[in-house]
Structure 1
């Protein structure tokens, strides 16, 4: 079985190893050593020097092995003249073991080296019985406990910086998600507003233009063209209001005010002009309402009348607005059945928009056919209940 290949050393580790080796060779060349009268003299100090430089290649990839083997090499170096470069490279191995080792080993290393430092100090003081023996303990701490504690401290700072970077990335991601949601909500608001403002006029234009084209009658054509012109002018006015809102207006120009329930009479009259038989019934005061609620109620009535213009059968359309202490209810009933005249195509976006407006205010919305009575063909009912005290969003 082939042994696993050693990991490739990092280029910085190679630089450290080469630098330490060259420094040790320079000190040896000048005849500088740390010890005198040792067992192995002369060039024997090169053996631990080369071994320690080789272990520097593993300081990042195999930190635990490097520091254990480095400790044995440092002990062997004490039997030679000793090299300052060997000691300095050992301190780097101890630092790297705390910095690149496992989290558990990094936490244990300062504790174990601290205990060793205390034990060495006490042991040499008891053996030599001289104050200078404390210096041996200090030297032990400088080459073991000091680098290990420094490595653990640097590791903690790096991990804290990494955690901050991750937190910043998460914050940026959440901010981007919020921005995307805000853009989506704004686009939905614009779509609802555009649909509700323009659909009524365009539907009337489509129906009356179809009637003018299909009926060869001069009076009918003139009446249809008059209605088409009125709806075109009003549709353009609504479009200008929306554009003013989107452009946030200028200093000399303000967008027209949003419609209110006080304008329901004009809305119903316009629907009658477009050909609908509409009856309006209002119960309770419709003034002083929260602006989002008032706009949502108006738009629901407007879209319901638009749908009735496009799809309702012959008969009367009733609009009922009932304001109570806690909420305002809107109910629009239109004949449900086949119609003989021209019809405008529908996309279903109107019902979606009305449902969204009610949901944003915490209200309820229902739309669908009702059971047919004994003398009619059925009724399509739109019913919305909007609370007056709500913390919902902007229904536009």
Structure 2
């Protein structure tokens, strides 16, 4: 199967027609480049002209072949009366070879034509020994070196433009990837926040509603309904706060209060109320130095304080749902540049009484909160079954410095 010959570009066809027509017009008018007499007839100058004009049709598709044949043609033109149109067409073939040729040829042609110009100039001066011999070198430079240099300059500009466009596209792609990652991270943060705020209240509602339905006692039902109402109101308030945060994103509104470790006492008291029906008691040991004045600890960064609060909140929620009757201990301490959070709950045997189902998302959320701040998180059962039974231990170590939160 013969290879398909590419169709010439319309601009190349136009150059071919104009070049050949101009050459015929100059020949008809008797305008020649060589004034000395030649053995060949005057019409012989039309042969190189037509050949180089035809090469214009393949200046884009076969630039190397066009330049080689064109060089032979322009040399042959010097043995005739000569045509200015033939020389001009050759300069365009040289230019096209640099612009459309392979990168190696585009790099070599300006250098080689420059060396040829220098060599021809030196040879002409040495041979003729007249100032006019410098014109030979100048003409040589105009015919071969100047178009090669012009083509190289244009090609460099085009390659620079292509590289700039690729960089812009890559930058836009990276920006889109960053935006997508930011959206995913924000969704994960919202999921953690929603889970930590609502799961505690819904778990208490599920446990006490189950108790009210399973125990036929007016007093128990009234107490359970009271706890259900309290958790419903608090859960609704938390949902409204989250909706307010979402609506206020990017707007100039008042800052919404972020939960802090100072509210741990109220959080433990609420867990004590929710877990009383399951035989649970809750104790808080806050071993941090009081305040940030004098010898007290410096204030914690807001992200660290929020993460610690949510870890305690989720641990208490899990204790209400899954812990066996006993005492749940919450311990918060700070030493040097670390904040340590620990929650221990009884985990002996299968829990009795009403329980709410769990999805496991709470442990994932706590681990994500700790790791996003550069801290660590562990959770699991410890101890051997016996009089005290095993304990479910939650441990989180968070950095207490501002630089640690800038990740």
Pair in the same fold by TM > 0.5: yes
1:364 corresponds, among 370, 376, 379, to: 376
Higher alpha-carbon deviation: 349-358 or 166-175: 166-175
Contact 2:301 2:405 (C-alpha < 8 Å) held by counterparts: no
Structure 1 CA distance for aligned equivalents of residues 204 and 153 of structure 2: 76
> How far has the Cα of 1:6 moved from its partner?
4.5
Name the residue aligned to 2:15: 16
User: What is the deviation of 1:220?
Assistant: 2.0
CA contact (8 A) 1:322 1:330 kept: yes
| Deviation readout 1:14-60 (Å, 9 max, x if unpaired) | 33223322332333344433334333333322211110012112222
* Residue 354 of structure 1 pairs with residue 353 of structure 2: no
Match of 1:320 among 301, 308, 331: 331
CA offsets, 1:218-262, max 9 Å, x none?
222222221111111111111122122222279895353111111
State the partner residue of 2:114.
114
Pair 356,394 (structure 1): closer, same or farther in 2 beyond 3 Å? farther
Structure 2 residue matching 1:53: 3-state secondary structure = helix
Give the Cα separation in 2 of the matches to 1:66 and 1:8: 15
Task: Assess, with a 3 A threshold, how the Cα gap between structure 1 residues 249 and 222 changes in structure 2: closer, same or farther.
Answer: farther
Alpha-carbon deviation of 1:394? Answer: 7.2
Inter-CA distance 5–290: structure 2 relative to 1 (3 Å threshold):
closer
Listed as ranges, the matches of 1:275-314 within 5 Å are 275=275, 276-285=280-289, 287=291, 288-314=299-325
Structure 1 CA distance, aligned partners of 2:282 and 2:266? 12
Partner SS state of residue 32, structure 1: coil
Query: So what's the TM-score if we normalise by structure 1?
Result: 0.92
- Cα separation, 1, equivalents of 2:216 and 2:185: 47
CA distance in 2, matches of 1:197, 1:347: 15
Q: CA deviation at 1:306?
A: 0.5
Q: Would the alpha carbon gap of residues 277 and 48 (structure 1) be closer, same or farther in structure 2, given more than 3 Å must change?
A: same
Q: Give SS of 1:281's match.
A: strand
1:192 equivalent in structure 2: 192
Deviation of 1:369 after TM superposition, in Å, equals 0.7
**Partner deviation per Cα, 1:100-140 (whole Å, 9 max, x = no partner):** 22222222212221222222223333333332222222111
Conservation of the 8 A alpha-carbon contact between 1:290 and 1:388: yes
| CA deviation profile, 1:139-176 (whole Å, cap 9, x unmatched) | 11100111111111212222222222222222222222
8 Å Cα contact 1:320-1:332 kept in structure 2? yes
Q: Is the 8 A contact 2:212 2:221 kept in 1?
A: yes
Distance 1:165 1:284, change over 3 A: same
1:391 offset after TM fit, Å? 3.0
* CA RMSD between the two structures: 2.3
Unaligned runs of 5+ in 1: none
- 1:333 aligns with one of 344, 347, 353: 344
Query: For the structure 1 residues 80 and 297, does the alpha-carbon distance in structure 2 shift closer, same or farther, using more than 3 Å as the test?
Result: same
Q: Distance in 2 between matches of 1:243 and 1:131?
A: 90
- Structure 2 CA distance for partners of 1:269 and 1:157, relative to 1, 3 Å: same
- TM-superposed CA distance for 1:65, in Å, is 1.9
TM-score, reference length from structure 2: 0.90
Q: Is the 8 A contact 1:370 1:381 kept in 2?
A: yes
Measure, in 2, the Cα distance between the counterparts of 1:250 and 1:121: 72
Q: 2:98, 2:152 within 8 Å by CA — same for their partners in 1? A: yes
State yes or no: 1:229 paired with 2:240. Answer: no
CA contact (8 A) 2:304 2:405 kept: no
In the TM superposition, residue 346 of structure 1 has moved relative to its aligned partner by 1.2
CA distance in 2, matches of 1:386, 1:250: 29
Q: 1:75 to 1:256 in 2, by over 3 A?
A: closer
Mapped contact 2:300–2:401 kept (Cα < 8 A): no
SS in structure 1 opposite 2:333? strand
> What is the CA–CA distance in structure 2 between the aligned matches of 1:89 and 1:249, rounded to whole Å?
66
